[in-house]
Amino acid sequence: MKLYETTQPSFYFTIQFPGEVIKPGSKPDIGFREISGIAIEITTETIQEGGLNSDVHIAPKSLKHGNLVCKSGLIARESNLAKTLQGDPSTPIEPKTILVHLKNDKEDVLSMWRFKDVYPVKWSVDEFNSTNNDILVESIEFAYSFSTREK
């Protein structure tokens, strides 16, 4: 007799480049096990009131975004993301728009964010260690100018 049954929901994230050409038999998305950096911070300015040393005003100044950090197993070399990362250093960086989807185990999109003016700023692979039986994780960090939650 079972006293309780536990179910583990399975969520994952994908990135899609709007308008990308999808080859027959391939998926348009790149799956990630972890995404962080979806954040907006309002920077402030401290203003000292003239004549009153005890009064300080804090005024909003501008919006600041962190970097979007995506982690997954190794990304296929043929993907649009890999091609972006393996570009020629002499070629100018073209900021792109990307969509980040939160999906369930049935591949339904539960939430979606749009990031504008995205370009890669850092790429790394976990250390190689032959004594561990861990999955090799690749991390890609993106700068972006603006994000919106659309779903």
Which CATH number fits the domain that encloses residue 24?
A: 2.30.110.20
Is residue 141 a part of any domain in this protein?
yes
DSSP letter, residue 146 = E
Instruction: Tell me the two tokens of residue 46.
Output: 């401290």
Q: What is the domain count for the chain?
A: 1
Is residue 7 a part of any domain in this protein?
no
Q: State how far the Cα of 83 lies from the Cα of 37, in Å rounded to an integer.
A: 23
What length does the chain have? 151
Is residue 143 a part of any domain in this protein?
yes
Is residue 81 a part of any domain in this protein?
yes
Cα dihedral value 58, 59, 63, 68, nearest 10? 10
Is residue 5 a part of any domain in this protein?
no
Question: What is the reported pLDDT for 75?
Answer: 63
Instruction: Tell me the two tokens of residue 141.
Output: 């960090």
User: Is the pLDDT reported for residue 108 higher than 80?
Assistant: yes
For residue 45, the enclosing domain spans 12-149
Is residue 3 a part of any domain in this protein?
no
- H/E element holding 81? helix 80-85
Is residue 2 a part of any domain in this protein?
no
- The per-residue pLDDT for range 42-83, each reduced to its tens digit, is 999 998 887 777 888 899 999 888 899 988 776 655 555 655
- The per-residue pLDDT for range 7-47, each reduced to its tens digit, is 445 677 888 877 665 555 555 556 778 888 888 899 999 98
